[in-house]
Amino acid sequence: MRHEPFVRTESGTQRPAPSATGVNHMDRAIRLRRVLIAALILTATTLTFPSIEANASPVTGSASISTSPLQSKVCPVDWRKGRFYVKKLIRCAAHRYGVNADKAVHIAFRESRFHPKAYNSWSCAKGIYQHLCRYWPERAKAYGYNDWSAFNARANVMVTVRMVKKHGWGPWGY
């Protein structure tokens, strides 16, 4: 037996509440919420991953010269401005390649405190993620940064994040 809610009238008697059949106020509210959430997600995605514009010079119309196509197309953050921008580059690269951004930032802090010129003379480890000197050239070449210095934060971060995506955090003790 279905239990109907009752509404009390002015005379004190109770009668059944009107049926809500056909009323779609809740449906409308849910649709509006879904549209709002979709708009917020789209906005956040656009701000996090801005569209890549063509790599052409507006003056001459010719393609600009760059060392690597990865340099300007993935995470266009100027890491030279300081530690905040190095962290921003790390987060961007981690999101781009599907790596845990918090772990990537934590390990970079532990390894170098976000200093691109960090160097350990005892082990010959360089850069943000302290790549060993003997491994860096091969790793850089494998991930498209041939002849880039390990002290270049962009190269160090991109090589590390792509390497982690493929092999995990093992070399860093995770």
pLDDT digits (tens, 9 = 90+) for 116-166: 999 999 999 999 999 999 999 999 999 999 999 999 999 999 999 999 999
Bridge partners (DSSP) of residue 56 are: 63
H-state helical runs in the chain: 25-48, 69-73, 83-97, 101-112, 136-142, 153-167
- pTM for the full predicted model: 0.59
Q: Quick one: CA torsion of 79, 146, 160, 153, rounded to 10 degrees?
A: -20
61 in any annotated domain:
no
Mean pLDDT of the chain, nearest integer: 80
Number of domains within the chain = 1
In a domain, 64, yes or no: no
Residue 18 domain-assigned?
no
Boundaries of domain holding 100:
83-165
Q: Which residues of the chain have pLDDT under 70?
A: 1-26, 45, 48-72
Q: What is the CATH number of the domain that holds 90?
A: 1.10.530.10
Would residue 92 count as lying in a domain? Answer: yes
In a domain, 122, yes or no: yes
Could you tell me if residue 48 is inside a domain? no
